[in-house]
Structure 1
Amino acid sequence: MGEAERAWARVRQNLRESAGARLFDQWLKPITLVAHDDPDTVRLALPSAFVTNWVRSHYADRLTLEFKTLMPRVRSVSIETRAAGDAPITIVAPVGDPTAPVADAPRATAAERPSLDPRFTFDRFVVDSSNMVAFHAAKALVEPGAPRFSPLFLHAGTGQGKTHLMHAIGHAYLARHPQAHAICMSAERFMYDFVQAMRARDTFAFKQRLRGADLLLIDDLQFIAGKDSTQEEFFHTINEVMSANRRLVISADRCPQALDGVEARIVGRMAAGLVADIKAPALPLRRAILDRKLIDLPDARVPADVLDLLAHRIHANIRELEGALNRVIAYAQLTGQAIDMDFAVATLGDVLRGAQRRVTIDEIQKLVSQHFDLKPLDLVSARRARAVARPRQIAMYLAKRLTTRSLPEIGRKFGGRDHSTVIHAVRRIEELRDTDRDVDDAVRVLTRELEW
């Protein structure tokens, strides 16, 4: 086994440990190392362009760091699509410096150009009240003339869009100032580069590079918490950039005052600029984000009810929402199946179960009584009229399906009925769903409203 093969085996192991088995098996396991003659280049291949683009978007920097650590002489990594019968599509990602441009990107000058995600632009950022202040602040920062404020401090939970805005700032600024010196890096990368510079006894070049930036974007500031020497250098870097009236953008997962382990003088500098938060996306925004993402995937056919399902059930963050859509589309492309509700539920079973909210029997009774224009007391009464008995059976059926309550517990919640009555109701509704369209439609509608 050669050096590249040994390094790749180590990289794969590291990726599996950090990403987790599920994500690794879905996206990273198909990566293969391609034989090559150039000792300065590592070539990796994937079976489809869709997965290739995803890996490049989410793991190019990580692969860069891994190979740089294990094989210092390597200068570039290529991520290719090598499907049977297809011509390879090669995208070159930098290994020595993740903030440098991709090899095939146009460069007007020798000024440093950051590796910005091409998807993360202002026109692709979906705006509503939860992120409006941050969006307009980001656009204001790239307006001509001296910056109206600096730094711009963006804070939000994981996957809410702060990295998107940072990259959008980079795209817009460089479009107006193509010869500008711009750097976009994570705080973790700042720390890594600084430590490497100290070990190489070459901190001057590191300081000169960052402090001379016309636009400096630092993501995930919380990662330097507790790192005293890194914080010292970070403070002097941002102080120099701000004193020169250059543009500085910092992001973190919380507001400056809540950054435990970060020096007070750094917090003070951050708070002196414009602090803008991005709140968790509400349902209308989540749905609009899915519609916007499909514009970039014209070949994907995703029914509206599947998009509604994703928007209602996956609400933790935008990244998980987009990841779920990517997974459905990728599985459909790999298996050749059409996307419908059953396919989406089967593909995202674990994701949907993790996002599912807890349903109570009281909620079921209230919603069923509203649906059938009854009083909640009717469902627990002794009335046996069909107009009451059928909705009661449907409510029992839903209680068995959507809650963890035992049969005796469900019976007690429906007027002290025996568990055998619940069993009969469940079996009867299961039979009617196959023969009675009205019953089946009612169950579907009620289930959707309860789960969402």
Structure 2
Amino acid sequence: MLRKQKYSVIKRTTMLKLDQIWNNILLETEAKVSTLAYDLYINTLQPVGIYKDRLILLAETRTLRDIVLHNYKETLKKCTNLVFPSIIDIEVITEDDVPHLGSVQQEVDIPVSDNYMSETDERPNFISQYTFDNFVVGKSNEYAVAIAKSVAENPAVTYNPVFLWGGVGLGKTHLMHAIGNSIQRNFPEKKIVYVTCDQFVNEFIESIHNTGNPGATKNFRDKYRKVDVLMMDDVQFLAGKEGTQEEMFHTFNELYLAGKQIILSSDRPPKEIKIADRLKTRFAFGVIADIQPPNLETRIAILQKKCNAKNYNIGFNVLELIAERITSNIREMEGMLNRIVSYSTLVGGDPNDMNIVNDALRDYADASTDIITIDHIVDNTCDYFRVKKEDLIGKKKNKEIVVPRQICIYLICDILGQSVPLVSIGEYFGGRDHTTIMHARDKISEEIKTNEVVAGRVKDIKDKIFNR
């Protein structure tokens, strides 16, 4: 992405959310440190809040915190100040420090320099590394890749709309960005908008409530309806948002009737999203392509390509170990690979030394642990709540059984992802309909955000499952 000026000239104050601030800082920092340092240390930090003139960041471990403070704090401070001149210090904490943190701001009206890149600046900021060339193709995703390439070569001609779906960490976002990068390169005249569902929802709400700007709603609609290509990630989050669904329905219709390309992604197929039937129907108008968990050979190939891209010298045995442990989440596989490289660098060891590897992965389930199955999750849930398995998967509806059952269903969906269809889960739980499984999953998913007891139970059972 082209930069403007490389000095901190304040041009305005802007109301920004924490992730917008952090994303801009990451853009600056990525160019100032090595790829290895960025991937292993900087990009693993999470923004917590802003206190006065200080940005608070969260590190996963005390070791990571110490590495960042000792080696990269000054770089982070400079990059932050370059974009946000009013932030003059960085503090890095761990989970142990959070209870003592006090009040911090998650959204601030903050001065920004000419280096600030807003989400509405010109063209979408697709991740340049996400291309078709570095996407590993296997039987689990070859159909989705073929559809993605076709629509990238002939937008609004071959398939429209395109609906990509699959579990967390299987490559949906990579494919979306690969499509975007290809269209930008081959059709520079086309106007593309790439947006997450959450961003679309938030902008829609803001346009309605912006009473000080009579044209806010029109500006919002023009942004999403006067385009050649609309790409929306994670459309499952439209569920339960009736007003936004209505807006999306009309946006979809206007673009579709005008012959514009629509590309959507989700963690489930249209029929399983809790949205209005007329929107489900439109999402399924064109082609639906699913991405399934890759087989062992494909997982190893993905890791090998990642090593080549980052110049990691990791042997086949280590890659095979990782691929055997993580079966359904590519992102988690890459996280395990990064952990091994990071740990070996920290202790000055060889990342191919199995003693080093085992030390690096001591927080993961033991290598001898069996592949996690529905039975494994159910057994651990029953043990935790001290209920009988036949009751948990049976027809009983008393609270002592219903809550553990819902948590168990959530854990199955969360851990096994799309490798186990909802219909199969329903059959396991006494022949329940897939919509009942969806309800249980979504209910617990929402509760863990606000109910500390439920969140604690889910974490405890996960720890049991993964032997942590």
- TM-score norm. by structure 1 comes to 0.60
One-letter code of the match for 2:310? Answer: L
Contact 2:83–2:116 (8 Å) recurs in 1 = no
Q: Matched residue pairs, number?
A: 303
In the alignment, is residue 277 of structure 1 matched against residue 320 of structure 2?
no
1:334 Cα deviation from its structure 2 partner: 3.5
- Determine the structure 2 residue equivalent to 1:318: 330
Residue deviations 1:247-306 (CA, integer Å, cap 9, x gap): 11101111100112x1111101011110000011111110010011111112x2212211
In the alignment, is residue 124 of structure 1 matched against residue 134 of structure 2?
yes
In the alignment, is residue 234 of structure 1 matched against residue 261 of structure 2?
no
Instruction: State the alpha-carbon separation in 1 of the partners of residues 297 and 257 from structure 2.
Output: 41
Contact 2:140–2:294 (8 Å) recurs in 1 = yes
Unaligned runs of 5+ in 2: 1-12, 23-45, 51-56, 93-103, 373-468
Cα 1:12/1:278, change in 2 over 3 Å: closer
1:180 Cα deviation from its structure 2 partner: 2.0
Instruction: State the alpha-carbon separation in 2 of the partners of residues 219 and 12 from structure 1.
Output: 22
Cα 1:352/1:216, change in 2 over 3 Å: same
Instruction: State the alpha-carbon separation in 1 of the partners of residues 322 and 169 from structure 2.
Output: 16
1:331 Cα deviation from its structure 2 partner: 2.5
Residue deviations 1:123-146 (CA, integer Å, cap 9, x gap): 011111110110000011022474
1:115 Cα deviation from its structure 2 partner: 1.2
Instruction: State the alpha-carbon separation in 1 of the partners of residues 335 and 279 from structure 2.
Output: 34
Cα 1:353/1:196, change in 2 over 3 Å: farther
- Determine the structure 1 residue equivalent to 2:313: 301
- Secondary structure of the residue aligned to 2:232 is strand
Instruction: State the alpha-carbon separation in 2 of the partners of residues 155 and 227 from structure 1.
Output: 20
Contact 1:314–1:352 (8 Å) recurs in 2 = no
In the alignment, is residue 138 of structure 1 matched against residue 148 of structure 2?
yes
In the alignment, is residue 248 of structure 1 matched against residue 262 of structure 2?
yes
- Determine the structure 1 residue equivalent to 2:424: none
Q: Which has the higher contact order (CA 8 A, sep 6+)?
A: 2
- Secondary structure of the residue aligned to 1:324 is helix
Q: CA RMSD in A?
A: 3.6
- Determine the structure 2 residue equivalent to 1:449: none
Larger radius of gyration: 1
Instruction: State the alpha-carbon separation in 2 of the partners of residues 37 and 337 from structure 1.
Output: 36
Instruction: State the alpha-carbon separation in 1 of the partners of residues 195 and 368 from structure 2.
Output: 32
Cα 1:333/1:249, change in 2 over 3 Å: same
1:13 Cα deviation from its structure 2 partner: 3.0
In the alignment, is residue 341 of structure 1 matched against residue 341 of structure 2?
no
Instruction: State the alpha-carbon separation in 2 of the partners of residues 186 and 25 from structure 1.
Output: 33
Cα 1:126/1:183, change in 2 over 3 Å: same
Cα 1:116/1:26, change in 2 over 3 Å: farther
Q: Which runs of structure 2 are paired with 1:192-271 in the superposition (5 Å)?
A: 192-201=202-211, 202-260=216-274, 262-271=275-284
Contact 1:218–1:249 (8 Å) recurs in 2 = yes
Residue deviations 1:379-431 (CA, integer Å, cap 9, x gap): xxxxxxxxxxxxxxxxxxxxxxxxxxxxxxxxxxxxxxxxxxxxxxxxxxxxx
Q: Which of 112, 123, 144 is equivalent to 1:74?
A: 112
In the alignment, is residue 327 of structure 1 matched against residue 362 of structure 2?
no
One-letter code of the match for 2:273? Answer: L
Residue deviations 1:318-338 (CA, integer Å, cap 9, x gap): 110111112222233344322
Instruction: State the alpha-carbon separation in 1 of the partners of residues 357 and 282 from structure 2.
Output: 47
1:241 Cα deviation from its structure 2 partner: 1.4
Instruction: State the alpha-carbon separation in 2 of the partners of residues 328 and 67 from structure 1.
Output: 35
Contact 1:42–1:74 (8 Å) recurs in 2 = no
- Secondary structure of the residue aligned to 1:74 is strand
Q: Which runs of structure 2 are paired with 1:47-446 in the superposition (5 Å)?
A: 69-74=107-112, 94=117, 96-97=118-119, 100=121, 112-144=122-154, 146-201=156-211, 202-260=216-274, 262-298=275-311, 300-339=312-351, 340-353=353-366, 356-357=369-370
One-letter code of the match for 1:161? Answer: G
Contact 2:83–2:112 (8 Å) recurs in 1 = no
Instruction: State the alpha-carbon separation in 1 of the partners of residues 368 and 202 from structure 2.
Output: 35
- Secondary structure of the residue aligned to 1:169 is helix
Which shows bigger deviation, 202-211 or 66-75? 66-75
Residue deviations 1:147-194 (CA, integer Å, cap 9, x gap): 212110001000011111100000000111123211111101111111
1:229 Cα deviation from its structure 2 partner: 1.1
Instruction: State the alpha-carbon separation in 2 of the partners of residues 117 and 305 from structure 1.
Output: 30
1:37 Cα deviation from its structure 2 partner: 7.5
One-letter code of the match for 1:151? Answer: P
Unaligned runs of 5+ in 1: 48-65, 77-91, 101-111, 360-452
Instruction: State the alpha-carbon separation in 2 of the partners of residues 42 and 167 from structure 1.
Output: 31
Instruction: State the alpha-carbon separation in 2 of the partners of residues 93 and 343 from structure 1.
Output: 42
- Secondary structure of the residue aligned to 2:310 is coil
- Determine the structure 2 residue equivalent to 1:59: none
Percent identical? 33
Residue deviations 1:320-362 (CA, integer Å, cap 9, x gap): 0111112222233344322122211111122243993269xxx
Contact 1:181–1:214 (8 Å) recurs in 2 = yes
